[in-house]
Structure 1
Amino acid sequence: MSPARAPYFTPREVSRHCTPADLWVSYLGRVYDLTPLAAQYRGDILLKPIIEAAGKDISHWFNPKTRDIKTFIDPQTGCLRYYTPQGRFLHIAPSYPSSDWDTDFGRPWWRDPAYEIGILSAKTRTIRIINTLTSQEHTLEVCSEETIWEILRRYLPYNAHAASYTWKYCGVPLNMDLTLEDNDVKDEDEEFEELRIDSDLYTASIHLYFNDDLTEL
């Protein structure tokens, strides 16, 4: 089995964490759990734009080259300021000097790696997993970047002994350390789109064959 790496998340998974008590966002290809930040600043008006962004991708807040909040020149002061059309939020200085502006928060939240929990999938896929022993079928949304081992972990809630099976596609055993694409399970969404065929009409199927042991992960 390949060594553990940062997990991938689908946009749908991020969107489920959309409350102040469970607050995820994504930006610039990464996923962040800002729940501790929301708890620390609970009741602060500057938390409001972040709460409103819960479960969403906020890459449009950032300059992708600097990975910092977008900036602009304030026409009134001629100073460089952060661009926050959705409203000023935590760790953004006020437009004018203020006696209640506290700068001892340390690193701004968007620069703090402690909040980063994984990678946002650039492309998700839908696959069907068929257990040939029980004839049960489950359809999963997975990340195209995930290895078969990582997809197996997504499947564990449906079958705790998933590692006790040989995973095959079109009768050929899959290399568990490779992705679907690398195992020749092609993503045909673009081709279907060019042909104006609904991609939902076809879902690649992976068949599981029991190995007569009861491995649990």
Structure 2
Amino acid sequence: MSPARAQFFTPREVSCHCTTADLWVSYLGRVYDLTPLAPHYKGDILLKPIIEAAGKDIGHWFNPKTGDIKTSIDPQTGCLRYSTPQGLFLHISPSYPCSDWDTDFGHSWWCDEIGILSAKTRTIRIINTLTSQEHTLEVCSEETIWEILRRYLPYIAHAASYTWKYCGVPLNMDLTEENGVKDDDEFEELKLDSDLCTASIHLYFNDDLTEL
């Protein structure tokens, strides 16, 4: 198995984390878990824009070149300031000198990513030839078969005890689309129903009870 790497998430997965008790956002291709902010800053008006953004992509808040919050020139002072049309939020410094802004928060909340937002997702059907069960998963196109296998674990804990095949050929578990698994986009270009043409991976039991 390939060494562990950053985890990929689909936009749908991020959108499920949309409460103050479970608050994720994404921006510039990365995913962030901001859940700890809610109890720490409970009642702070500066938390409101972040709560309203829960489960969403906030890439429009950031400069894609610098990776920092967008800035603009204050027309009154001529000074550079953070651009926050959605309202001021946590860890944004005021555009004017003041003594009541608390800088003792460590580093900014937008610095701690937990994974990568998939640039493209796809649907794969997994068929267990031992039990005849079928499950359709939305996966990240960047994921290896090993990583797709981990997504499948909630359905069968011993998924690694199977040989994974596509069109009768064993898959290289360290590869992604290089295995030749057809992409949904090919069917969309032909205006075919992708649900009817979803690529199917067949699992064949090895009877060795391998565990991850």
Tell me, yes or no, whether TM beats 0.5.
yes
Equivalent residue number for residue 79 of structure 1: 79
Equivalent residue number for residue 31 of structure 2: 31
Structure 2 gap segments, 5+ residues each: none
Matching residue within 179, 182, 191 for 1:183:
179
Deviations 1:44-70 (A, max 9, x none): 110000011011111111000000011
Equivalent residue number for residue 167 of structure 1: 164
Aligned partners of 1:203 and 1:193: how far apart in 2? 11
Matching residue within 121, 124, 127 for 1:127:
124
Aligned partners of 1:116 and 1:124: how far apart in 2? 20
Deviations 1:167-200 (A, max 9, x none): 0000000000111x110112141x3333333323
Of 129-138 and 191-200, the range deviating more from structure 2: 191-200
Equivalent residue number for residue 118 of structure 1: 115
Deviations 1:101-139 (A, max 9, x none): 1122232222x3xx3111111111100000001100000
Deviations 1:62-92 (A, max 9, x none): 0000000111101011011111011000011
Deviations 1:26-49 (A, max 9, x none): 111111111112222121110000
Q: CA deviation at 1:20?
A: 1.1
Q: CA deviation at 1:213?
A: 1.7
Aligned partners of 2:195 and 2:84: how far apart in 1? 39
- Residue identity over aligned pairs, in percent, reads 88
Aligned partners of 1:97 and 1:198: how far apart in 2? 59
Aligned partners of 1:42 and 1:210: how far apart in 2? 51
Equivalent residue number for residue 142 of structure 1: 139
Equivalent residue number for residue 41 of structure 1: 41
Aligned partners of 1:4 and 1:74: how far apart in 2? 45
Equivalent residue number for residue 191 of structure 2: 196
Of 69-78 and 191-200, the range deviating more from structure 2: 191-200
Structure 1's consecutive aligned runs of 4 or more residues displaced over 6 angstroms after TM superposition are none
Aligned partners of 1:211 and 1:158: how far apart in 2? 17
Amino acid in structure 1 at the alignment position of 2:11? P
Task: Check 1:20–1:188 CA distance in 2 against 1; reply closer, same or farther (3 A cut).
Answer: closer
Equivalent residue number for residue 209 of structure 2: 214
Aligned partners of 1:135 and 1:193: how far apart in 2? 28
Aligned partners of 1:198 and 1:215: how far apart in 2? 37
Root-mean-square deviation (Å)? 1.3
Q: Is the 8 A contact 2:49 2:87 kept in 1?
A: yes
Equivalent residue number for residue 3 of structure 1: 3
SS in 1 for 2:154: coil
Of 99-108 and 120-129, the range deviating more from structure 2: 99-108
Query: TM-score w.r.t. structure 2 length?
Result: 0.95
Amino acid in structure 1 at the alignment position of 2:205? F
Aligned partners of 1:157 and 1:96: how far apart in 2? 52
Query: TM-score w.r.t. structure 1 length?
Result: 0.93
